[in-house]
Amino acid sequence: MAEKQPLIVVKKITVVAAGGHGGSWKVAFADFMTAMMAFFLVMWLLNQTPEVKKNVSDYFSTPSVIEYEFSNFGVQLTLEKLFLDLINEPLKVLEDFMQPMDYTPNFLQMGTENIAKAALTEQLGDFATDMTVNGDTIQVELPERVLFKTGTADPLGKFADVMAKVQAVTSGLEDANVYVDSDVFTNTVVGGEAAAKMVAEKRLDMVLSQIDAKLEHKTVELHGRGRAMAPERLSDGRPKEGYIKITIKQKEQLSDGSKPRKLGRIFGKGDDSMNVYNNFVNKISNSKSKE
């Protein structure tokens, strides 16, 4: 029997100078590039005007529109708005994520009726007796007792506070008509219809001047009407008091020539005809019954 030959194993070790050493160098390089970018941004900022520096500071110190809406209107209402915006204006959603909340909001472009109602209630809920939001129209009714002394055009102490809330609603409007009705009932004024008409018009001038003073866009038009009204009584028998009614209506065409988008409504009253699952089940049932 031949002798078993020994197994010879040759092990070669190859040394490669300056190898890859894994990927740790990439992390270090990325940190270095980030630091350099930050350095050049700081150098750029130091050479900018005070206005640019303030804008950059405001961007990082104020919440974005999305953050503002989440904190003020809650998750459900904000998600409603996001849902509609993504369908209708996807690019605007990205803009809202980036834009700081340092501008006056346009109540007619808040996306949904629920968001507009929530914002309206936040501003005027303590003063208004009636508030409605419908598509392209917002209406607020303020009783005279929160603005003027009964039967006169003399403003009350809280007149400025209430008008500041009204200005918060009207200041950011664009491409809109604002109608202000000042109605005074003749039984609340000494001097009859002529005196009531004069009081109504004086009140109207004061309210219009307050609104006009804070408008930020020239595409908003103001309209006013002062009226002396025959006495009316409420359902409980009490005489009806005078009021200031403010109606905000979107123009049919925007200044850029496009058509405006109305305030949407998605989580409103249910409509069984729009239930996809029920429609599918009914379709299957009907097909089986025909067989």
pLDDT digits (tens, 9 = 90+) for 235-288: 887 888 899 999 999 999 888 888 887 877 655 444 444 343 444 445 445 555
Domain coverage including residue 164: 105-250
What average pLDDT does the structure give for the chain?
78
- Residue 272: DSSP 8-state: G
For residues 90 and 150, the model is more confident at 150
- Residue 203 confidence (pLDDT): 96
DSSP-assigned beta bridge partners for residue 178: 222, 248
CATH number at residue 214: 3.30.1330.60
**99-129 pLDDT, tens digit each:** 555 567 888 887 778 778 888 888 898 999 9
Mean pLDDT on 166-194:
92
* Number of compact structural domains in the chain: 2
Q: Do 130 and 213 belong together in one domain?
A: yes
CA quadruple 53, 58, 60, 65: dihedral, nearest 10: -140
Q: Is position 231 within any domain?
A: yes
Q: Do 113 and 39 belong together in one domain?
A: no
- Reading phi first (left if > 0) and then psi (alpha if -120 to 50, else beta), residue 201 is in alpha
**In the chain, what percentage of residues exceed pLDDT 90?**
34
Q: Do 39 and 155 belong together in one domain?
A: no
Q: Do 158 and 221 belong together in one domain?
A: yes
Whole-angstrom distance, CA of residue 243 vs CA of residue 143: 4
Q: Place 61 in a pLDDT band, splitting at 50, 70 and 90.
A: low
Would you say the pTM of this structure is higher than 0.75? no
DSSP string, 120-173: HHHHHTTT-SEEEEETTEEEEEEEGGGTB-TTS-PBPTTHHHHHHHHHHHHTT-
